[in-house]
Chains A and B, each alone.
Chain A
Amino acid sequence: MTVNIKQWPGTALATRDLEQGHVLTVKYKPRAEYAWDAGVAIARYLEELKAGRLIARSCKQCDRILIPPRMFCEECFRPTDSWVYVEDTGTVNTFSICHVRWDVVRLDQPQLPAVIHVDGASPGMGILHLLGEVAPEEVYIGMKVKAVWEEASRRQGSITDIRHWKPWKEE
């Protein structure tokens, strides 16, 4: 049946059709700004980042130490139990070498986003962050890393109070 359809619907336009006004368009930029509440668990997380520490929450039912911290355990569906400090060292679980910004504009220097499993938290508990002080070709999955903190006076209570994570050898 479909082989009998000669002309499928849908009219393709080229970029120049818009740029040169061959078709009429309306432009609109929404005015939408947000102020997101950090919430209970993440507010404490940020406070501790400002103090140069990483903090997690523990759930005694599943015996997990959760980072990022959360006030409820999504597996047990009950409140988590207590605050636990974890290390500022960890292991690269996966990483990328990113050459573009979100709008696909090329970056001068590639970024090295990574999922880092944090020492002291339960196995598999990773956070998203950036790697630094390392050549992209030297990064590997399983690499040990340590947080490089912003100077105390410049910390704002933000995930960026850790500048990045650098290669690290256990002593």
Chain B
Amino acid sequence: MLSKLTTSAQTRQWPGHIPVEYVYTAGIAGEAFLRALKDRGMLLTSQCPQCQTVYLPARLYCEQCFEETKQYEEIAPKGWVHTYTVAHVDIDGEALAVPQIYAFIRFGGTNGGLIHRLGQTQPHQVSIGMEVEALLLPGKERTGSINDITCFQPTK
């Protein structure tokens, strides 16, 4: 029905973009988490007073009980690989010079965990359950970002 009308229509495209950029705050609990990382190289957790879930990173509230979490505690950035992947291409699909290992890392006594890079190791050496620890930037170079951790590496 419409097809006969398209004969005179050239294919036309109109280019454009959406002119925005973002400045995100870390939030109340996120700010405390990043400060602990920056200032002390530690990971901040918070615990729900009702169901005892220990959130890592720390959260303001328990999503299950809707209570405000209390009991903020810092733990050393040592955990184990819960799962991992090896990336061979970048965001545009171009081959990476060196494959990058990304892992979900969990920590004893907590729920949750962190997604981060794995370094100082090779893809074939990584295994689920492997113990890892954070390789931190020197204190002066930290900015209060998740990238204050350069990567996680096998525990020495």
Classify A-B as touching or not with yes or no (CB < 8 A): yes
User: A interface vs B, CB < 8 Å?
Assistant: 11, 13, 18, 23-30, 32-38, 40, 42-44, 46-47, 71, 79, 102-103, 157
Whether a CB of chain A sits under 8 angstroms from the CB of B9 is: yes
**Which B22-46 residues sit within 8 Å CB-CB of chain A?**
22-26, 28, 30-31, 34-35
User: B interface vs A, CB < 8 Å?
Assistant: 1-2, 5-6, 8-26, 28, 30-31, 34-35, 143-145
The complex places the Cα of A44 from the Cα of B10 at a distance, in Å, of: 7
Question: Assuming A27-B21, A29-B21, A29-B22, is B8 touching A37 (CB within 8 A)?
Answer: no
Selected contact of B16 from candidates A30, A34, A79, CB within 8 Å: A34
Residue of A nearest to B145 (CB): A26
Is the pair B15, A33 in contact by a Cβ cutoff of 8 Å? yes
Is the pair A79, B9 in contact by a Cβ cutoff of 8 Å? no
Smallest Cβ distance from A53 to chain B, in angstroms? 13
Residue of A nearest to B17 (CB): A33
The complex places the Cα of A27 from the Cα of B22 at a distance, in Å, of: 6
Is the pair A28, B11 in contact by a Cβ cutoff of 8 Å? no
The complex places the Cα of A67 from the Cα of B126 at a distance, in Å, of: 63
Subset of 9 A-B contacts with CB under 8 Å: A18-B25, A24-B26, A24-B31, A27-B24, A28-B21, A30-B18, A34-B16, A36-B14, A38-B14
Residue of A nearest to B10 (CB): A43
Is the pair B20, A30 in contact by a Cβ cutoff of 8 Å? yes
Determine the chain B residues whose CB is within 8 A of the CB of A47 once the complex forms.
8-10
Residue of B nearest to A37 (CB): B13
Question: Assuming A24-B35, A43-B10, A79-B2, is B16 touching A36 (CB within 8 A)?
Answer: yes
Question: Assuming A23-B31, A24-B35, A79-B1, is B25 touching A36 (CB within 8 A)?
Answer: no
The complex places the Cα of A102 from the Cα of B18 at a distance, in Å, of: 12
